[in-house]
Structure 1
């Protein structure tokens, strides 16, 4: 992240200090070791994966006008939108440099494809935002793009650097993809949970932005005409009062939509674990299984 342009390392230092789970690079490191890799290429690729993720966060916070990230002031709140977008571009460029340094066209193909898919997922989310006619299929397409694609790429490159057969690469791709969907489902459930406050985030950010997530879609589908009119007003028309979030949470409790969202996340988590069936038991396989449990246990 170093650069002679001082604003870049300053903003980068802010990002590093904010912490985070570093989950995606952990997947790359674990997947490579799971496949028996003993070299060092996986380290640079893990950093590459994290740079792609961090770049998307910088851009997302500008698009969403977020003031907080991981419980601290977001980069755009401190340095401004222009700096956040441009440093995000710098991190994307650095990620591509790391891919080229690795020297594998297959790695380049996987990670470049993931970066393009993430952008498509974010644009699709923008398209369906505030539209209560959106379907669950569209919602899943969004989260497969904006979240699951990078999880899948992060694990798949672990098999590639280890020169494992296509079958293993596809199994790890499936693991990452299903884990990514489970992760995002839990994130979307957390936005309407008191646990969110413990994570340093504001409850109801998705609600205030009019984002179409599974809890909202389920509450809308299960509601009566009066409830449907409420959701159209607050999500589509963005006409919200101070009491609307509390009422939205009440409707979600009434229809059990958070529990349903978490249950679906568990199903995807089980699919992720099933994808590892062909790998022998090892500390790395157990670690990847534990990551699934960790992601879902964030909702308590």
Structure 2
């Protein structure tokens, strides 16, 4: 690998390799988000779809299919399906979280209203199921429908666990598998299935997507306390202000003394936050090495993702997927 190639981000290299496929995916997304009778649907959808996201999840589907030698048409349908499911969850999440910013832009619920965001999200879920049925594969439909249910389940679990100081790392992992990793693993798994890959190869792709999604989410949670608004597309400390128990906080709560426990009870459990509380939270986490411990967890999941695909065919895409797993945690170094 030359210096220029090494300097480019893995998802950019993936995007270049898969450019023709992604162009077809984007065309399908634009065609299928249209609505003859409700013009607000493409308005709201376009605001999010055209916001400059990396399209990481659909690229995972395309890469998995191509890596396994697929040359048919249906990886395009599946990549568009994955992006519709992802976009639907973002629309719903922003309503639930009362967010005002997504990818550095005002959220759809802020520009339109909560009702529009929820209903357009529902429409995109329905469109995703229409798309996946066109593949004619019951296994593909099983994987993606199960993932959709897991995503919804994870969001509901997060509602009850987010401000509960009894939330453990195991519960956090269950939430992360729902809200993030389920779609990553489904995206890679269906790529292998549609390509007719062996059971072992499909399992390897699933394991890669699952571990990548977990590493990705832990990294995002860490960046919320140590990134920049431009880098993370939201305000630094939003998770603390929204009283979300993410992994570094869970680790700090587990090691808290009586005074620290009282601080977490006031700020997270009861939501009584004052000026300077974010800085105090950061100091407590630093005292217990919570950020470093969470970073170690993210690195371990990224290593698991890379190891999972070692047995897949020797192909440039395999190297890019491996580099991607390293990159999602390199952001927190």
- Flag whether TM exceeds 0.5 (same fold): yes
- Deviation of 1:224 (Å): 1.7
Tell me whether 1:183 sits opposite 2:216 in the alignment: yes
- Structure 2 gaps of 5+ residues are 1-32
- Deviation of 1:196 (Å): 4.2
Which residue of structure 2 aligns with residue 247 of structure 1?
280
- Deviation of 1:202 (Å): 0.4
Moved more, 180-189 or 275-284: 275-284
Tell me whether 1:144 sits opposite 2:177 in the alignment: yes
Tell me whether 1:94 sits opposite 2:161 in the alignment: no
Q: After TM superposition, which residue ranges in structure 1, 4 or more long, deviate above 4 angstroms?
A: none
- Residues 233-265 of structure 1 show CA distances to partners (whole Å, capped at 9, x for unaligned) of 101011101211111112222222222211111
What is the correspondence of 1:227-242 to structure 2 with a 5 Å cutoff?
A: 227-242=260-275
Which residue of structure 2 aligns with residue 120 of structure 1?
153
Which residue of structure 2 aligns with residue 103 of structure 1?
136
Distance in 2, Cα, partners of 1:187 & 1:230: 24
Are 1:121 and 1:145, in contact at CA under 8 Å, matched by a contact in 2? yes
What is the correspondence of 1:260-271 to structure 2 with a 5 Å cutoff?
A: 260-271=293-304
Which residue of structure 2 aligns with residue 69 of structure 1?
102
Which residue of structure 1 aligns with residue 35 of structure 2?
3
- Deviation of 1:280 (Å): 2.6
User: Aligned-residue CA RMSD in angstroms?
Assistant: 1.1
Are 1:62 and 1:76, in contact at CA under 8 Å, matched by a contact in 2? yes
- Residues 88-119 of structure 1 show CA distances to partners (whole Å, capped at 9, x for unaligned) of 00100000000111111110000000000000
Are 2:312 and 2:318, in contact at CA under 8 Å, matched by a contact in 1? yes
- Deviation of 1:197 (Å): 4.3
- Deviation of 1:17 (Å): 2.6
Tell me whether 1:16 sits opposite 2:49 in the alignment: yes
Are 2:216 and 2:328, in contact at CA under 8 Å, matched by a contact in 1? yes
Which of 198, 206, 210 is equivalent to 2:231? 198
Are 1:159 and 1:172, in contact at CA under 8 Å, matched by a contact in 2? yes
Aligned pairs, number: 300
Tell me whether 1:280 sits opposite 2:333 in the alignment: no
Which residue of structure 2 aligns with residue 45 of structure 1?
78
- Residues 40-71 of structure 1 show CA distances to partners (whole Å, capped at 9, x for unaligned) of 21011001001101100100000000000011
SS of equivalent residue, structure 2 residue 164: coil
Are 1:179 and 1:269, in contact at CA under 8 Å, matched by a contact in 2? yes
Distance in 2, Cα, partners of 1:149 & 1:188: 17
Q: TM-score, normalised by structure 1?
A: 0.97
- Deviation of 1:285 (Å): 0.3
Which residue of structure 2 aligns with residue 224 of structure 1?
257
Which residue of structure 2 aligns with residue 60 of structure 1?
93
Are 1:148 and 1:177, in contact at CA under 8 Å, matched by a contact in 2? yes
Distance in 2, Cα, partners of 1:22 & 1:184: 16
Are 2:303 and 2:326, in contact at CA under 8 Å, matched by a contact in 1? no
Which residue of structure 2 aligns with residue 29 of structure 1?
62
Tell me whether 1:129 sits opposite 2:162 in the alignment: yes
- Structure 1 gaps of 5+ residues are none
